[in-house]
Amino acid sequence: RLVKLKALGCNAAEVYVPWNLHEPSPGNFRFDGRRDIVRFLGLCQELGLDVLLRPGPYICAEWDFGGLPWWLLNRPDPVPLRCCDEEFLANVDRWWLTELLPKVRPFLAGNGGPVIAMQIENEFGYWGQDDAYLSHLRDLLKDTFGSSCPLLFTSDGTFWPDLQANGGVEGALRTANFGSSVPERLQQLRKAQPSGPLINMEFWIGWF
């Protein structure tokens, strides 16, 4: 598939990392078979494809539970998710710090690898307002990777101002998701981010 992607003239691969695929039960981390992110990033490097890595922890509504592990719900309701809850962040930190980020580090562009950018959360503006949570994720990546940290970005809609206001975080490039009315959508992104490149992270050509 990556060979076909390159044959189409593409120069980069954008990929989510589903947490629930890699930690199906607490502490049981798997990177075998289709979970082998090291092999995937290595293939991208061999083919000369840059990588935009989207590690979540929430990745998208199209993946079961947004890529979050089911066992996070094994707590009294209401279960706090995608926020600064101490237990939730402890699980995120363990997943990223002990398993995912060490595997990604050799493939960062700053280390000669293909990963040129990493996304913080996904469309968080639709979910809530918790700058401390987004800042925690940002700082986790920056502190872990140091000078090798790639470009960090967030990705949200521009259909009303709260989406970019709540989904973005200082120190990360804001990008927009949309599928039509490009000038209008980019104009709204410019209002949310007065300087810097205007980037469409997801251009929707259909739905399911």
Distance between CA 128 and CA 67 in Å, rounded?
A: 18
The question of whether 123 is a catalytic residue gets the answer yes
List of E strands, 55-172: 115-119, 151-156
- Please, how many CA atoms are within 13 Å of residue 115, restricted to the half-sphere of its CB? 27
Q: Where are the beta strands (DSSP E) in the chain?
A: 12-16, 50-54, 115-119, 151-156, 173-178, 200-203
- 202 is an active site residue: yes
Kindly report whether the peptide bond that precedes residue 57 is cis, defined as omega within 30 degrees of 0: yes
Two tokens at 4? 């076909």
- Neighbouring CB atoms inside 10 A of 147's CB total 6
CB burial of 175-193 (b: ≥16 within 10 Å; e: otherwise) equals bbbbeeeeeebbebbeebb
Nearest-Å Rg of the Cα atoms of the chain is 17
Helix (H) or strand (E) holding 140: helix 131-145
Active-site position among 23, 99, 121, 123:
123
Any idea which residues carry the catalytic annotation? Answer: 123, 202
